[in-house]
């Protein structure tokens, strides 16, 4: 066998991605790709990772101590997502494995979708479309699907990273909204001024906002950060949007609050235990439900995959990850 062939690292592509991305990887590595897009169990993932130096992941494959012990050749786990709650970062540090994510490239697209969900839920877009498609529309009337105002209202943003800031700018500059935000730490004054956003504590945000958007990372501390008590603090006319991760919201409590009209509506792109969706959410009309697609434009998804590929190439050929989350 040729020397260079012996030295070529092996990489696993754990789910189907754009074929061009696999081609790019093949120029540098031996690649095993899940072209059939099968759902591999944790055991199957471990089996496929034997001898691999890198893995391209979608953010749903758990990289933890058990997997790392069983896959000693793994050096880099590259998510094609910005969220990386599938990584046990402490375990990865302990095993000397770098994790990478895809910041920046999806920020504006995801913020657009935040407004799509907010507008759709507040203005009852999907609810009224179902009514029309069911042939129930017989005449115009003054209160037909009258919803909640969005422009000129108060927008509360929980989690003020890149996506939160992009949503704030849309709200303040595009929709003339007053923007409140809550984050562990306050942003620099210059960023607050650019976003026209004011830091408040979480209770004030829930109480004063007409609409609340969640864009914070999922961590054990953020588990069910929005539950029955928090929903009870919100205005009965409020819309809640979750773009972040399932598990941040107690979906059972939310379904109950929507059923009781404790809040007006919700727009949800992420769910606890997805792709399963809490049955209570499927039963109420005042919620817009989408299957985790906030970053799903063709251009952005290409950019996300490309950045994950760039991370694998840079790290395995030059020892330098472009967007590491640890190390």
Among 59, 99, 246, 267, which residue interacts with ligand DGY (rule: CB under 6 A)? 59
Which one of the listed residues 224, 259, 274, 302 is annotated catalytic? 274
How far apart are the C-alpha atoms of 167 and 109, rounded to whole Å? 10
Contact status: 109 vs ligand DGY (CB under 6 A): no
For ligand DGY, which is the closer residue by CB, 61 or 153?
61
Residue of 22, 76, 105, 106 interacting with ligand DGY (CB under 6 A) = 106
Helices 298-318 & 19-26, crossing angle to 10 degrees? 10
Q: Quick one: 172 exposed, middle or buried, by C-beta within 10 A (0-12, 13-18, 19+)?
A: middle
Q: How far is the CB of 304 from ligand DGY (least distance, A)?
A: 7
- Residue 199 Cβ, how far from ligand DGY at the closest point, in Å? 24
| 177 vs 308 by CB, closer to ligand DGY | 308
Could you say which of 245, 272, 278, 301 is catalytic?
245
Catalytic residue among 24, 75, 211, 292: 292
292 tagged catalytic: yes
Q: Give the residue ranges of DSSP H helices in the chain.
A: 3-7, 19-26, 42-49, 65-70, 89-95, 107-122, 125-133, 162-169, 189-195, 202-208, 228-233, 251-259, 279-283, 298-318
Q: CA torsion angle for 246, 250, 255, 258 (degrees, to 10)?
A: -100
Q: How far is the CB of 123 from ligand DGY (least distance, A)?
A: 24
Q: CA-CA distances (angstroms) from residue 317 to 10, 22, 28, 53, 306?
A: 12, 16, 8, 11, 16
The yes or no reply on residue 165 touching ligand DGY (CB under 6 A) is no
Answer for the pair 235, 209: CB distance below 8 angstroms, yes or no. Answer: yes
The question of whether 245 is a catalytic residue gets the answer yes
Q: Which is nearer to ligand DGY, 244 or 254 (CB)?
A: 244
Residue 197 as a binder of ligand DGY (CB under 6 A): the answer is no
Which positions from 247 to 286 touch ligand DGY by CB under 6 A, shown as an x/- string? Answer: ----------------------------------------
Q: Are 173 and 195 in contact (CB under 8 A)?
A: no
The closest of 79, 129, 68 to 106, measured between CA atoms, is 79
Tell me, residue by residue from 71 to 90, as one string, x for binding to ligand DGY by CB under 6 A and - for no binding: ----------xxx-------
**Integer Cα distance of 233 and 156 in angstroms:** 13
C-beta closer to ligand DGY: residue 34 or 295: 295
Query: Could you tell me how far CA 284 lies from the centroid of its own chain?
Result: 23
Enumerate the active-site residues: 245, 274, 292
Give contact residues for ligand DGY (rule: CB under 6 A). Answer: 59, 81-83, 106, 295
């Amino acid at each position: 066998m040729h020397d260079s062939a012996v030295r070529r690292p092996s990489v696993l592509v754990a789910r189907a991605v754009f074929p061009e991305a696999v081609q790019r990887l093949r120029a540098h590595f031996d690649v095993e790709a899940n072209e059939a897009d099968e759902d591999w169990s944790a055991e199957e993932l471990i089996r496929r990772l034997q001898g691999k130096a890198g893995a391209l992941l979608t953010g749903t494959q758990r990289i933890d101590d058990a997997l790392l012990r069983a896959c000693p050749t793994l050096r880099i786990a590259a998510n094609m997502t910005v969220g990386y709650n599938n990584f046990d970062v402490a375990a990865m540090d302990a095993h000397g494995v770098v994790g990478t994510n895809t910041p920046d490239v999806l920020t504006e697209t995801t913020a657009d979708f935040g407004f799509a969900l907010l507008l759709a839920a507040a203005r009852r877009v999907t609810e009224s479309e179902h009514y029309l498609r069911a042939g129930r529309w017989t005449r115009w009337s003054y209160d037909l699907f009258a919803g909640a105002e969005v422009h000129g209202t108060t927008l509360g943003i929980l989690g003020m990273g890149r996506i939160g800031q992009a949503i704030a700018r849309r709200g303040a500059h595009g929709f003339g909204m007053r923007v409140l935000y809550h984050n562990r730490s306050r942003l620099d004054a210059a960023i607050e001024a650019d976003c026209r956003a004011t830091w408040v504590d979480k209770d004030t945000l829930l109480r004063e906002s007409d609409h609340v958007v969640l864009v914070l990372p999922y961590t054990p501390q953020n588990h069910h950060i929005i539950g029955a008590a928090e929903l009870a603090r919100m205005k009965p006319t409020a819309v809640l949007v979750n773009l972040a991760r399932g598990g941040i919201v107690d979906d059972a409590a939310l379904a109950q609050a929507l059923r009781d009209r404790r809040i007006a509506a919700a727009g949800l792109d992420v769910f606890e235990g997805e792709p399963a969706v809490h049955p209570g959410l499927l039963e109420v009309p005042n919620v817009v439900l989408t299957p985790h697609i906030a970053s799903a434009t063709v251009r952005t998804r290409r950019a996300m995959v490309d950045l994950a590929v760039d991370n694998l190439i840079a790290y395995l050929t030059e020892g330098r990850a472009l967007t590491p989350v640890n190390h």
